[in-house]
Amino acid sequence: MIIGLAGPELADDEAQLLREYPPRGVILFSRNISTPFQVRQLNAILRQILAPDAVLMVDQEGGRVARLRAPHWRNLPPAAALKTPEAALAHGKALGVMVKEAGFTMTAAPVLDLRYEGASDVVGDRALSHDPQVVAALGAQIAEGIMAAGITPIIKHIPGHGRAQIDSHEGLPKIARDADLSADFFPFIANNKLPWAMTAHIVYEAYDTLPATLSAKVIAEIIRGKIGFTGTLVSDDLAMGALSGTPAERAVGALQAGCDVALYCPGDMAGNRAVLEAVANGH
């Protein structure tokens, strides 16, 4: 499990829970971040409590998806503004350095989804292009820049979120059985040796009635099979509206389907305890 926290300081009950059920890591959001000094201190405290190889994650892409923001941090452009390999590499390096200096080990970028006209704006300008070749090439450069700073990138949202008509934060998108997904898969195939990938909460009707995050078939046949991704697979946030069931049921379901790590972001104590206990107890 990677879990969220409630606020900018680690509460005593949160610290106790982290010691009782050590997660794979922690993800921080804007609610947890106020100044460079504060976030470095919080990450240092987490590093003392968690395992030496624990993940300290932030969802920092640039553009509208940024938890480190002005005035304390530089606002980077959205992916859609990056037009050359040089710009993408520089963007990745700037992103990596910013995240590293704040004490994190990992950022949930780059987005390798394609931009589709008429699709939900949940991807929109977070996508590098509508052209899979461009997305693959520029995404690789962003990832290279992030890694040059000593930060682990996470490609997302595998096997492809771009054509979704519904925002998966609000509901469950479904991709029609007859959709040709080869273009959507291509950027992920081209980057299938990168270390981490994040799943899409989307039903691909040609393969399963369950969303990819909870689908053993999609994970085995598409993500691990056709795409050939060999790294660590983490779910998107299990609290999103696309999924049903309790947080604990979602966490166990994602892991049983083949995710290596499940992500639960809200930071509520009851939810955190429920998912950590369920995963620790194997049910």
Which residue among the candidates 59, 184, 208, 236 is catalytic per the annotation?
236
Q: Is the peptide bond before 169 cis (omega within 30 degrees of 0)?
A: no
Which residue among the candidates 72, 169, 260, 268 is catalytic per the annotation?
169
Q: How far is the CA of 147 from the CAs of 44, 57, 94, 153, 228, in angstroms? A: 21, 14, 11, 7, 21
- C-alpha 188/C-alpha 192 separation (Å) is 6
Q: Determine whether 130 is an active site residue.
A: no
The closest alpha carbon to 95, from 82, 84, 43, belongs to: 82
The closest alpha carbon to 4, from 33, 25, 19, 22, belongs to: 25
Q: Determine whether 157 is an active site residue.
A: no
> Are 62 and 77 contacting, i.e. CB atoms less than 8 angstroms apart?
yes
Residue 257 identity: A
Per DSSP, the three-state class of 216 is helix
Length of the chain: 283
Contacts of 115 (CB under 8 A, 6+ apart): 80, 123, 124, 125, 127, 128, 129, 130, 162
Torsion on CA atoms 250, 99, 9, 168, rounded to nearest 10: -30
> Are 187 and 136 contacting, i.e. CB atoms less than 8 angstroms apart?
yes
Contacts of 17 (CB under 8 A, 6+ apart): 269, 272, 273, 276
Catalytic residue annotation: 169, 236
